[in-house]
Amino acid sequence: MIKEPLLAPSLLAADFLHLNKAVKLIDESEADWLHMDVMDGRFVPNISFGMMVVEQVGKVLEKPMDVHLMIEEPEKYVTQFAKAGADTITVHYEACPHLHRNIQQIKDLGVKAGVAINPHTPVALLEPVIEDLDLVLVMSVNPGFGGQKFIFETLYKIRQLRQIMQDRNAKALIEVDGGVGLQNAAKIMEAGADVLVAGSSVFGSEDPMETIKKLKSLGNLPVYEV
Ligand SMILES: O=C(CO)[C@H](O)[C@H](O)COP(=O)(O)O
Ligand SMILES: [Fe+2]
């Protein structure tokens, strides 16, 4: 039996003219967290929204806010994102030459600390910090855009990470982000994920509430080949 995922719909795929409506939908749905994708046009080739939007969403959102920082020099901004209402702040391994210090900085703010890895970054590179982490975000697309195709190799990375964590008795949650939907969610959970981020598969669907419900009841889903 596949376990029920924690589900974090991504606001990136919502209608930006009606963000309030999207936030309410998440609060009223079976989703667990709201995922917020912050992009700076430097670390990734796209710009999304910054802390002013995160702050406004934080004022109305009742559920935990999961902030994914796709930015360079995140250490300059994490204090502001914590004040804006982030419950988890995830920085990219590739953007942090002083990763250990960055993780401690986030934890000292009283916020859960996550580290994201790009598709080409080996999971073994996280071993020295794995016990300090609340969350590991495994990117299953190249970061910067919603609506991309899930990279199949991610399944091996999830399995490897689960093994490393087991060997070290690490307690971080494994979050998978990019190209996740009803067609592959069960397979991703089976590989060892705990949290699924879903952007276009939720907000791009005809009935986002119903899609969230289906993703949450994964035990009933067939395991499709991805
Ligand atoms: O971090 C991200 C992109 O860099 C997004 O969270 C992710 O792509 C979600 O969108 P979708 O589910 O449409 O792939
Ligand atoms: Fe994301």
Q: What percent of the chain has pLDDT over 70?
A: 96
Residue 165 belongs to a domain:
yes
Q: What pLDDT, on the 0 to 100 scale, is given for residue 218?
A: 84
Average pLDDT across the chain, whole number: 96
Atom number of ligand 1 nearest to Cα 147: 13
Q: Is 35 annotated as a binding residue?
A: yes
Q: Is the CB of 199 under 6 A from ligand 1?
A: yes
Give the mean model confidence (pLDDT) for residues 96-110: 98
Instruction: In whole angstroms, give the CA distance from residue 4 to residue 6.
Output: 7
Check: CB of residue 125 under 8 Å from CB of residue 117. yes
Q: Mean pLDDT over residues 164-173, rounded?
A: 97
CA of 11 to the centre of ligand 2 (A): 9
pLDDT at 222 over 90: no
Q: Examine the predicted complex and report whether its ipTM is higher than 0.95.
A: yes
pLDDT for res 2: 85
Does 134 qualify as catalytic in the annotation?
no
Whether residue 177 lies in the annotated active site = yes
* Strand partners for 8: 197
Ligand 1 nearest-atom number relative to CA 181: 12
- Ligand 1 atom, smallest distance to 178 CA: 14
Element of type H or E holding 83: helix 78-83
Place of tokens 């376990």: 3
**Res. 138 pLDDT band, cuts 50 70 90:** very high
Q: What is the pLDDT of residues 15-48, one digit of tens each?
A: 999 999 999 999 999 999 999 999 999 999 999 9
Instruction: Look at the chain and report how many structural domains it folds into.
Output: 1
Q: Is residue 118 part of a domain?
A: yes
Cα–Cα nearest to 117, from 160, 168, 167, 78:
160
Share of the chain above pLDDT 90, in %: 95
Does the residue 207 lie in any domain?
Answer: yes
Residue 226 has pLDDT above 70, yes or no: no
> Residue 71: which CATH number?
3.20.20.70
Instruction: Tell how far the Cα of 65 is from the centroid of ligand 2, in angstroms.
Output: 12
Judge whether 225 lies within some domain. Answer: no
Residue 1 belongs to some domain of the structure:
no
10 ligand 1 Cβ < 6 A: yes
Rounded Cα distance, 107 and 129, in Å: 13
Q: Domain range spanning residue 89?
A: 6-220
Residue 226 covered by a domain: no
Distance separating alpha carbons of residues 210 and 220, to the nearest angstrom:
14
Q: Considering the domain boundaries, does residue 149 fall inside one?
A: yes
Predicted confidence (pLDDT) at residue 162 exceeds the cutoff of 80? yes
Mean pLDDT, residues 105-124: 98
- At 185-216, the pLDDT tens digits run 999 999 999 999 999 999 999 999 999 999 99
- Residue among 177, 202, 211 to mutate when testing ligand 1 (max atoms within 8 A of CB): 177
